[in-house]
């Protein structure tokens, strides 16, 4: 995994959680691996960790406001979204998770998230009851359904001294998640993979055959996973129907089987 994050552009979104101090360790670990880190912090986040610490560790000015000066210049979230190889939001508060799930773009972090074409990783951090609340869980499910990667919090003693699930995952583990993601992605990048799906029929004579009940779900699930880990280029699926079965030649795309996903 040594070089996998080298020269990767990572946007690190930091929000108003007591776990924001861990972002300093995260930046150090990412920079040590050769990644370039651009911090975007929410206004509440700045109450928990100073932009000076973050800009010093990342060697980049920290972005927080839409308008950095009173001279008409503004920060361009769209460019930032395109620059990134990955966006990581760590720690992610319940509030930010809710805004991401519902497109409430009232700060630089959320506008950057909405503009981001790169994979997004979210590391929640909050009290156990906030994390367990159906509203938080629904928002997380929503983010998953958008294709975001949720890095589950761990259980343990929380800042409130209560014990339960809600502690942000440790920085080294978060870096390991990114490394695993990029290593599997680079193995499949630009590869074209043919996956056969569905039943096969073996001809016995002109009117009879031996077949099976395969639904094809396994093949399409494999194709979807390959598509997620590859470099999605096209939205077409090429179905070739052969005498011996259905061969789905699926380019590495975000294509979804209509029968399975409506």
Ligand X SMILES: Cc1cc2nc3c(=O)[nH]c(=O)nc-3n(C[C@H](O)[C@H](O)[C@H](O)COP(=O)(O)O)c2cc1C
Which sign does the torsion angle of CA 48, 123, 125, 42 carry?
Answer: positive
For ligand X, which residue of 17, 38, 58, 64 counts as binding (CB under 6 A)?
17
Asked whether the beta carbons of 33 and 26 are under 8 A apart, the reply is: no
Task: Based on the shown chain and the rule CB under 6 A, indicate whether residue 84 belongs to the binding site for ligand X.
Answer: no
How far apart are alpha carbons 231 and 253 in whole angstroms?
7
> What residues are paired with 242 via a beta bridge?
245
Residue 257: which of 239, 245, 244 has the closest Cα? 239
Q: Is 172 left (phi over 0), alpha (psi -120 to 50) or beta?
A: alpha
Q: How far is the CB of 85 from ligand X (least distance, A)?
A: 24
Q: How far is the CB of 130 from ligand X (least distance, A)?
A: 6
Cα of 261 vs its chain's centroid, Å: 21
* Shorter beta-carbon distance to ligand X: residue 136 or 229: 136
DSSP β-ladder status, 245-250 and 193-196: antiparallel
Q: How far is the CB of 123 from ligand X (least distance, A)?
A: 11
Task: Based on the shown chain and the rule CB under 6 A, indicate whether residue 94 belongs to the binding site for ligand X.
Answer: yes
Residues in region 221-250 near ligand X by CB under 6 A: none
Task: Based on the shown chain and the rule CB under 6 A, indicate whether residue 96 belongs to the binding site for ligand X.
Answer: yes
How far apart are alpha carbons 98 and 124 in whole angstroms?
11
Task: Based on the shown chain and the rule CB under 6 A, indicate whether residue 126 belongs to the binding site for ligand X.
Answer: yes
Task: Based on the shown chain and the rule CB under 6 A, indicate whether residue 193 belongs to the binding site for ligand X.
Answer: no
Task: Based on the shown chain and the rule CB under 6 A, indicate whether residue 18 belongs to the binding site for ligand X.
Answer: yes
Query: Which residues are catalytically annotated?
Result: 212
Task: Based on the shown chain and the rule CB under 6 A, indicate whether residue 44 belongs to the binding site for ligand X.
Answer: yes
For ligand X, which residue of 39, 130, 178, 248 counts as binding (CB under 6 A)?
130
* Shorter beta-carbon distance to ligand X: residue 16 or 216: 16
How far apart are alpha carbons 78 and 171 in whole angstroms?
27
Task: Based on the shown chain and the rule CB under 6 A, indicate whether residue 15 belongs to the binding site for ligand X.
Answer: yes
Contacts with ligand X, residue ranges (CB under 6 A)? 15-19, 42, 44-45, 93-96, 125-126, 130
């Amino acid at each position: 995994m040594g070089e996998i994050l080298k020269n990767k552009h990572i946007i690190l979104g930091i929000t108003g959680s007591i776990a924001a101090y861990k972002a300093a360790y995260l930046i150090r670990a990412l920079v040590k691996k050769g990644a370039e880190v651009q911090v975007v912090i929410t206004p509440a986040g700045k109450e928990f960790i100073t932009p000076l610490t973050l800009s010093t560790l990342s060697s980049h000015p920290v972005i927080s406001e839409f308008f950095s000066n009173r001279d008409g210049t503004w920060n361009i979230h769209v460019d930032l979204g395109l620059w990134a190889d990955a966006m990581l939001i760590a720690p992610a508060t319940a509030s930010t998770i809710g805004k991401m799930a519902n497109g409430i773009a009232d700060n630089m972090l959320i506008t950057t998230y909405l503009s981001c074409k790169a994979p997004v990783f979210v590391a929640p951090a909050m009290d156990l009851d906030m994390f367990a609340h159906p509203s938080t869980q629904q928002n997380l499910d929503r983010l998953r359904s958008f294709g975001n990667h949720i890095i589950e919090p761990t259980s343990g003693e929380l800042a409130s001294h209560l014990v339960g699930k809600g502690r942000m995952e440790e920085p080294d583990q978060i870096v390991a998640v990114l490394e695993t993601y990029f290593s599997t992605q680079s193995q499949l990048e630009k590869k074209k993979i043919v996956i056969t799906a569905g039943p096969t029929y073996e001809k016995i004579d002109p009117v009879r055959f031996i077949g099976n009940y395969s639904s094809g779900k396994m093949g399409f699930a494999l194709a979807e996973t390959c598509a997620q880990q590859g470099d999605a280029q096209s939205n077409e699926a090429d179905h070739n129907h052969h005498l011996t079965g259905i061969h789905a030649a699926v380019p590495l795309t975000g294509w979804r089987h209509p029968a399975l996903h409506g």
